[in-house]
Amino acid sequence: MKVTFPYMGPVLAYKKLLEAVGHEVIMPQKPTQGTFDLATKYSPEFLCFPFKCLMGTYIEALEAGAEAIVTTGGDDNCRAGFYAEVHRRILASLGYNVQFFVIESLFKHPRDFIGSIRDLKGKYSWWHALGTIHFCYDLIAAMDRIQERIRILRAHEKNKGDFTRAWRDIEELFDTCYDRQDVRETEKKAWKILHSVPVELWDPKQAMRIGIVGEIYVTMEGHANQEIEETLAAMGVEVVNSQYVSHWLKQRLQILPWRKSHMEKIIAKAKPYLKLDLGGHEQENIAHMIDYWEKGLDGVIHLMPFACMPELVTQSIIPRISKDLGMPIVSLALDEQRGTANIQTRLEAFLDLAMGKKIRRAGVPGLAAR
Amino acid sequence: MKVGLPRALLFYYYDPLWQAFFHALDIETVTSGATTPHIVDNGVRNSVAEICVPIKIFCGHVVELLATDVDAVFIPRMITVEERKRFCPKFLGLPDMMRYTVPGLEGRLLDPDIQCRQESLADAQDYESLAKMLGKSGREVKRAFAVASEQWEVFRRYHRSGMNIDEAMAALNKKENPVYEPPKNEKRLTIAVLGYVYNIYDSFVGMDIIKKLRLMGADVVTFEMLDDGSVAEKLQRYSKTTPWTFTNKLLGAGYDFFEDPKIDGMIHVTAFGCGPDSMLGRLLEFIAVDHGKPFMTIRVDEHTGEAHLSTRVEAFTDMLRRKKFPVR
Ligand code: SF4
């Protein structure tokens, strides 16, 4: 069957996973203006931005021949858990005959989870399926490690665009991996490529470093956040992003109760501000803000889709967190219509503030001259 | 101790319960007045711009209460009141959000967690922490919960007998209930009004839509009048229900009303910025098409004028009437 899936995070790994169990994959395309136009046309006006992006991506993939969509469900109480149901009805009303595979949470609905994996794996053995999952996890984790480093290095590249090009080459290499051994070797090559990209010499004490937290889709996807990371890199700002699919998986799949993840350890810091998780990553986001400040980052950017329910609660609390910590935090709401101008202005004001704070905090004289 | 209760959000569903609860504990309560433009302004000023109107209004009521001599404002953290469903995320974060946005609330906030499996809160477990907040014993709180849920069940029975919330509240308080006299009109209609209680019954948001419809010669039914059992049963047929308690009740009621041949049309009243309704609204549209029944959405924000609502409601009833009683 020809299957497709949302364009989010390490799409390459999803492709590998589905191909390994005998599906033909129609790769979802990175959303463009055309995708947004489709999205706006066929989505309810007040639905959130990620829903619309997926709507557009799905239609494009269906037009390219996809017959089924694999996505996640979940009954957290953010709207994302209910996306698939509404997408399905809208696509049906548009006349697409499409099958949905909705992967539910392994822990909350073990039976549904296993059921959907069984449907997907078809005639392949469980052993084969598990092996493939393990391989894909390694692939995602390796790619995440490389990207994490690029986010720092890119601020210092000699020739604009070098790291973007390097990343494209690295992705192509990973595309040729078929088992865990391949992943290990490819990662070594990838590091070599990274280290061969020419960079300016820089003083780590003087470089600005900004954390990005927020709703997972807009935080991870450049097309959804107006390529904010590239903008920052061009301004010489290093970026630490809080959202990685491998971290997310690791937390969800953590089964050894005595091995506390880093996240669990820092989440206590968020509790005085927000007692419960609201269905997304709100406590994590707040915990990251505090953790980043303690680690010496210079500020945090909070990204959210316009009118995202749980993140609006975070946004309400941010002024207070920022005041308590003395750290600049800016919260930006994104959707398909917001112009770049407004975001650019707010970003610049925020960076000025962060720079001022940095000079005062570290007392680095050389900085004032920049 | 004097506790302030904001007349907003779930006030319209749970007020009889909380009144009885505090009464049983001998704690004085003060309820804020009906929503006024001034309250809305205060709410808007203390909220982030994009948040839904009902939360802004709630915020305005909190400001209102803080200006009085209450010792604490009661903002329970509504988490669950049934299995597998939760409240909209904004309810889960409501006390936190209010604490850090409304100046002066810190230290005057009473925010117990409500996590039950029964809507009547009869199975509330966490007495101790609430008892501590109130300076009472766990046993007293437990007893107060028992009294309160019983009182609330009476309130719900009034609903199910066909009263709307205003009427049920009046009946409960043994107030003179102006019996609703349907105006003499040969061409009567029955219209379902779907919406959260804080949208329909807050006259600032809902603009007395029920009264308006009745004046136009239509009988009105709402989701509270349905039996929870029948709603749940209706929903069972569908593969996946929405994650939020009240949205789900509206969805179930929607199915019920669309299938009911007595009902001529349906109006969905929603507030600007409501997340769950952006999905519910679309599903209701689909169901309306499936059943070939007239359906209209009224989206209200802090600037919507009364005239706008009246005109649309009038046009809708006219249309229904022409459809039901065609002139030959
Ligand atoms: S259900 Fe809608 S209107 Fe009610 S609090 Fe949530 S977002 Fe606001």
DSSP letter string, A269-285: TTTTT-SS--SSSHHHH
Residue A151 falls within a domain, yes or no?
A: no
Instruction: Taking each helix axis as running N to C, give the angle between helix B53-66 and helix B37-45, from 0 to 180 degrees, rounded to the nearest 10.
Output: 100
Residue B147 falls within a domain, yes or no?
A: yes
Same domain, B136 and B203: no
Q: Which of A78, A106, A124 is the last residue of a domain?
A: A124
Residue B167 falls within a domain, yes or no?
A: no
- Runs of H (alpha helix) within chain B: 11-24, 37-45, 53-66, 89-92, 94-101, 127-134, 138-160, 165-172, 197-200, 203-206, 209-215, 228-236, 245-259, 275-291, 306-324
Res. B174 pLDDT band, cuts 50 70 90: confident
Interface test with chain A among B96, B113, B287, by most A beta carbons within 10 Å: B96
Amino acid letter, residue A90: I
Compute CA distances B245 → B81, B228, B328, whole Å. 8, 12, 46
Same domain, A250 and A110: no
Structural domain boundaries enclosing B78: 2-160
What is the 3-state composition of chain A as percent helix, strand, coil, each rounded to the nearest 5?
55, 10, 30
Residue A43 falls within a domain, yes or no?
A: yes
CATH of the domain at A67: 3.40.50
Instruction: Give the gap in angstroms from C-alpha B86 to the nearest C-alpha of chain A.
Output: 7
Residue A201 falls within a domain, yes or no?
A: no
Res. A106 pLDDT band, cuts 50 70 90: low
Same domain, B133 and B205: no
Give ipTM to 2 decimals. Answer: 0.90
Same domain, A364 and A216: yes
**Residue B271 near ligand 1, beta carbon < 6 Å:** yes
Please choose, from the candidates B243, B197, B190, the residue with its C-alpha nearest in 3D space to the C-alpha of residue B221: B190
Q: Parallel, antiparallel, or unpaired for β B2-5 and B72-74?
A: parallel
Q: Parallel, antiparallel, or unpaired for β B295-300 and B265-271?
A: parallel
Q: Which of A69, A89, A124 is the last residue of a domain?
A: A124
Quote the number of domains for chain A: 2
What is the overall mean pLDDT for chain B?
Answer: 90
CA A211 to CA A232: how far, in whole Å? Answer: 11
Q: Which of A74, A101, A124 is the last residue of a domain?
A: A124
Quick one: DSSP state of residue B312?
Answer: H
So what's the pLDDT on residue B185? 66
Residue A166 falls within a domain, yes or no?
A: no
Q: Which residues of B touch A81 (CB under 8 A)?
A: 243
Compute CA distances B98 → A30, A307, B56, B133, B292, whole Å. 39, 18, 10, 18, 43
Quote the number of domains for chain B: 2
Dihedral sign (CA A317, A321, A323, A326): negative
Ligand 1: residue of B48, B50, B52 to mutate (most ligand atoms within 8 A of CB) is: B52
Residue B48 falls within a domain, yes or no?
A: yes
Nearest to B275 among A79, A316, A333 (CB): A79
Ligand 1: residue of B11, B12, B94, B277 to mutate (most ligand atoms within 8 A of CB) is: B277
What are B269-298's pLDDT values in tens digits? 999 999 999 999 999 999 999 999 999 999
Residue B105 predicted with pLDDT over 90: yes
Residue B169 falls within a domain, yes or no?
A: no
Which of residues B226 and A311 earns the better pLDDT score?
Answer: A311
Same domain, A114 and A216: no
pTM: 0.91
CATH of the domain at B27: 3.40.50
Dihedral sign (CA B311, B50, A231, A235): positive
CA A215 to CA A313: how far, in whole Å? Answer: 12
Amino acid letter, residue A136: C
Given a contact cutoff of 8 angstroms between Cβ atoms, the answer to whether A286 and A197 are in contact is no
| Interchain contact, B93 vs A319, CB within 8 Å | no
Instruction: Give the gap in angstroms from C-alpha A141 to the nearest C-alpha of chain B.
Output: 31
Same domain, B54 and B189: no
Same domain, B232 and B270: yes
So what's the pLDDT on residue A338? 63
Compute CA distances A334 → A340, A347, B46, B107, whole Å. 10, 13, 22, 35
Name the one residue in this structure whose structure tokens are 């005959």: A97
Given a contact cutoff of 8 angstroms between Cβ atoms, the answer to whether A19 and A85 are in contact is no
Beta strands in chain A (DSSP E): 2-4, 24-25, 68-72, 99-103, 208-214, 237-241, 299-305, 329-334
Instruction: Taking each helix axis as running N to C, give the angle between helix B245-259 and helix B275-291, from 0 to 180 degrees, rounded to the nearest 10.
Output: 10
The mean per-residue pLDDT over the stretch B238-243 comes to 71
So what's the pLDDT on residue A370? 41
Which of residues B44 and A256 earns the better pLDDT score?
Answer: B44
Q: Give DSSP secondary structure letters for B57-113.
A: HHHHHHHHHHTTT-SEEE--EEEESBTTBB--HHHHTHHHHHHHHSTT-TTSEE--E
| Burial (CB count <10 Å: 0-12, 13-18, 19+), residue A288 | buried
- Token representation of residue B229: 């059992």
Q: Is B174 left (phi over 0), alpha (psi -120 to 50) or beta?
A: left
Which of residues B80 and B239 earns the better pLDDT score?
Answer: B80
CA A196 to CA A212: how far, in whole Å? Answer: 27
CA B257 to CA B221: how far, in whole Å? Answer: 9
Which of residues B163 and A65 earns the better pLDDT score?
Answer: A65
The mean per-residue pLDDT over the stretch B40-51 comes to 94
What are A194-213's pLDDT values in tens digits? 999 999 988 888 889 999 99
Same domain, A216 and A356: yes
Q: Which residues of A touch B283 (CB under 8 A)?
A: 86, 89
Nearest to A89 among B87, B96, B286 (CB): B286
Largest CA distance in chain A: 66
Residue A74 predicted with pLDDT over 80: no
b (16+ CB within 10 A) / e for B47-72: bbeebbbbbbbbbbbbbbbbeeebeb
Structural domain boundaries enclosing A112: 2-124
| φ and ψ at residue A148, rounded to 5 degrees | -60, -40
Same domain, A233 and A118: no
**Residue B7 near ligand 1, beta carbon < 6 Å:** no
Same domain, A230 and A98: no
CATH of the domain at B220: 3.40.50.11900
| Interchain contact, B275 vs A315, CB within 8 Å | no
CA of residue B172 to ligand 1 center, whole Å = 27
| Interchain contact, A312 vs B276, CB within 8 Å | no
CATH of the domain at A328: 3.40.50.11900
Look at ligand 1, atom 6, and give the residue with the nearest C-alpha. Answer: B88
| φ and ψ at residue A48, rounded to 5 degrees | -80, 160
Residue B218 predicted with pLDDT over 60: yes
Same domain, A213 and A359: yes
What are B116-154's pLDDT values in tens digits? 988 888 888 778 888 988 999 989 999 999 999 999 999
Instruction: Give the gap in angstroms from C-alpha B186 to the nearest C-alpha of chain A.
Output: 39
Same domain, B210 and B280: yes
Same domain, A226 and A355: yes
Q: Which of B126, B160, B194 is the last residue of a domain?
A: B160
Q: Which residues of B sit within 8 Å Cβ distance of A?
A: 47-48, 50-51, 77, 79, 84, 86-90, 92-93, 95-97, 100-101, 113, 239-240, 242-244, 273-279, 281-283, 286
Look at ligand 1, atom 3, and give the residue with the nearest C-alpha. Answer: B274
Same domain, B24 and B133: yes
CA B322 to CA A129: how far, in whole Å? Answer: 61
